Amino acid sequence: MNIVVCLKQVPGTTEVKIDPQTNTLIRQGIENIINPFDTYALEEGVRLKEKHGGKVTVITMGPPQADAALREAVSLGADEAILLSDRAFAGADTWATAYTLSQALVKIKTYDLIICGRQTIDGDTGQVGPEMAEMLEMPFIAYVSNIEEIKDKYLRVKRMVEEGHEVIETTLPAVITVAKEINVPRLPSLRGIMKSKNVAIQTWGIKELGVDAGKAGLAGSSTQVIKVFFPQRVTKAEILEGTLEERVDKLFDRLKKAGLC
Amino acid sequence: MDYFLTEQQKTIKDLARRIAEERILPVRAELDENEEFPWGIVKDLAAADMFRVFVPEQYDGLGGGCLELCLVTEELSRICSGVAVTYAASALGCMTLIEYGTEEQKRKYLPDIAAGRKLGAFAITEPTAGSDASNIKTTAEKVAGGYLLNGTKQFITNGGEAEIYTVIALTDKTRGARGASAIIVEKDTPGFTFGKKEKKLGIRTSATRELVFKNCLVPEENLLGKPGLGFIQAMRLFDKSRPGIGAQAVGLAQGALEAAVDYAEQRVQFEQQIINMPVIQHMLADMDIQVEAARALVYAAARYVDSGAKNVTESSAMAKVFASDAAMKVTVDAVQICGGSGYMRDYPVEKMMRDAKILQIYEGTNQILRNAIAVNLRKRKARTA
């Protein structure tokens, strides 16, 4: 069972500051961590490997310092690591990110399952996993909370939906995103940490991937962040007076005016 | 203070701290209250390779020595001394094997210990043999097919939970301590059962039990080293393991000091945080001095053991005595600083104070160890006279 886990390095804080000029996150001086949702994806990949054999390859797209996230993933049980890093990849939206990742997967070729976290804590879109599956023309299942059975070309999972869960079967290879209910990620091991210090991390750029620079990074992004801001919270309460019927009439009136009914 | 640890030693210490804070801290009060063996934590420690630290590399270990073992024990003990001793007792249970075992014996047992699949335990103490350790009565009679064990071991850490026991028993009872031998006994060997689990003042998550041998036949190949050397092997083992008890004391005292500082910062009396009061500041400063002095002595003793020095009895005894006395004093003072709250089980310091007491008692009472130190003083004097 060869598994690829896609992960992202994110700022280890919820108090992010935005550069007003570029509308991007200010990353200086903030410790970077593996996106917490991705740690469940990695743990599930490592557990599947331990049970069924094979290997876990971790892959991330990011600046050279994203190397640290990959090394941490190796300390947690990943076998191989690939960093997609190139100036041309910078400024990518989810579409361009999914494109670049999918091209890397085409290059990796041999795998049975791709696992991603359900979303990142910085972008919060949850789009890269499904977009990537679409580009690879593969089945996709989101919010997986349990892998019930996995064998040659066959996968059955439990997935969380709003009012319960669904059990879905699919062929492999496939892409899944996992919910945090799926497992409790382990702590690193000493042997893992020692291995992570020496592991050779492959770095692939535009050239190695042989991709169209116009489809990657900012150039390949069909969306652009115009402005990022903290919403102003204005809360105003109004108590309606009168008899019960009068109050209901007033409320109905108000809702009608606001175009809510 | 910087003790100039190597990169690998720092990695070991950092990871042990992380496990302690992330996995042990949330459950320590519950483990203490329920006197429940910490199997969940043992599994976490195993997964993180902590049991590999003290096992040689050729048997799936990381080849660490006394200092590495001390670093892990200290960090675990900073959060829970009961978990720390459970861990360290597994090391104690296989150190005689590492030292005197044959290649075959090591291959058979050490990989399982290193992986944390099995725990080890060491058994010398008996109802009649505490400080008077040579007064053991358990016999291992040579018979066809091996040794027949009869007798009872008392207060054995990891008893009932461990799979691999190093037992000191008399293979020749006519020769007393000179007739003692170290023998490996596996759990589930017919004739080997466990007495009641002891209810203790402190380190209550750790298991302490009697081992009962009734015509328990152990194969001859389970003998460690030569027959008749068991008592000497045990004494040498304790010389090397005592810095580990010192490390347990250092971690425990460090945890108590930190808890006392936290409390003193929050607690307001007479309209000020009590940490602003000189009386509290001096108590905290004295605690800090004790902890650091103990740590320096423990690390120095551990490094001396790792250097391969021939006679480490005095150094390791000093480290154990000083650190455990410091831990007792520091934890008592931590409770004092926390006042009424410190006496309550909602706060961690009362547990730390209960946990500290055993450190002055096991692996040689501090009185017995002072005897050993004094013997060395006299020997040195005799040599220079």
pLDDT tens sequence across B329-370:
999 999 999 999 999 999 999 999 999 999 999 999 999 999
Chain B residues with CB inside 8 Å of A190's CB? 11-12, 15, 48-50, 52-53, 62
Whether residue B51 has pLDDT greater than 70: yes
**How much is the average pLDDT of A104-112?**
91
- pLDDT, mean of residues A187-199: 94
Exactly one of B68, B314, B350, B363 is catalytic; which is it? B363
Instruction: Give the pLDDT score at A152.
Output: 87
Contact B52 A188 (CB under 8 A): no
Yes or no, beta carbons of B48 and A194 under 8 Å apart:
no
- Position B319 scores a pLDDT of 98
pLDDT band at A223 (very low <50, low <70, confident <90, very high): confident
Q: Which pLDDT value is given to residue A14? A: 64
Beta strands B272-273 and B208-218 are unpaired
Specify whether B363 is catalytic.
Answer: yes
Mean pLDDT (whole number) for A15-28: 68
The region of weakest confidence among A18-27, A160-169, B7-16, B55-64 is A18-27
Q: Cβ–Cβ of A190/B47 closer than 8 Å? A: no
**Which is nearest to B314 in space by CA: B323, B324, B304?**
B304
- Best of A50, A186, A187, A194 to disrupt the B interface by mutation (most B CBs within 10 Å)? A187
Geometric angle at alpha carbon B40, from B36 and B42, rounded to 5° = 95
Mean pLDDT calculated for residue range B31-55: 97
Position A230 pLDDT exceeds 90: no
Nearest partner of A80 among A191, A187, A211, A195, judged by Cα: A195
Instruction: Give me the pLDDT at residue A15, please.
Output: 66
Cβ contact, residue pair B53, A187, below 8 Å: no
Decide if B15 touches A, using CB distance below 8 A.
yes
A46-89: pLDDT as tens digits: 999 999 999 999 999 999 999 999 999 999 999 999 999 998 88
Question: Is residue B29 scored above 70 in pLDDT?
Answer: yes
Q: Region B88-103: what's the mean pLDDT? A: 97
Total residue count of chain B as it appears in this document: 385
In B, residues 51-110, which contact A (CB 8 Å cutoff)?
Answer: 52-53, 62
Question: What amino acid is encoded at B188 in this protein?
Answer: D
> Chain A neighbours among B 38-57 (CB < 8 Å)?
44, 47-50, 52-53
pTM: 0.87
Question: Considering only residues 188 to 247 of chain A, which have any Cβ-Cβ distance to chain B shorter than 8 Å?
Answer: 188-194
Q: Do B62 and A193 touch (CB under 8 A)?
A: no
Is A146's pLDDT higher than 80? yes
Q: From its phi and psi, is residue A229 left (phi > 0), alpha (psi between -120 and 50) or beta? A: beta
Among B202, B136, B205, which Cα is nearest to B173's?
A: B136
Q: What is the pLDDT of residue A16?
A: 66
Confidence of residue B384 (pLDDT cuts 50, 70, 90): confident
Residues A100, A104, A107, A108: what is their CA dihedral angle, to the nearest 10 degrees? Answer: -160
pLDDT at B68 exceeding the cut of 80: yes
pLDDT band per the 50, 70, 90 thresholds, residue B320: very high
- Nearest-neighbour CA in chain B from A78: distance (Å): 15
- Band of pLDDT at residue B99, cut at 50, 70 and 90: very high
For chain B, the three-class secondary structure string (H helix, E strand, C coil) is CCCCCCHHHHHHHHHHHHHHHHHHHHHHHHHHHHCCCCHHHHHHHHHCCHHHCCCCHHHCCCCCCHHHHHHHHHHHHHHCHHHHHHHHHHHHHHHHHHHHCCHHHHHHHHHHHHHCCCCEEEECCECCECCCCCCCCCEEEEECCEEEEEEEEEEEECCCCCCEEEEEEECCHHHHHHHEEEEEEECCCCCEEEEEECCCCCCCCCCEEEEEEEEEEECHHHEECCCCCHHHHHHHHHHHHHHHHHHHHHHHHHHHHHHHHHHHHHCEECCEEHHHCHHHHHHHHHHHHHHHHHHHHHHHHHHHHHCCCCCCHHHHHHHHHHHHHHHHHHHHHHHHHHHHHHHCCCCCHHHHHHHHHHHHCCCCCHHHHHHHHHHHHHHHHHHHC
**Mean pLDDT over residues B271-293, rounded?**
98
- pLDDT averaged over chain B? 97
Is residue A233's pLDDT more than 80?
no
Chain A 176-195, residues with CB within 8 Å of chain B CB atoms: 186-194
- Per cent of chain B over pLDDT 70 is 100
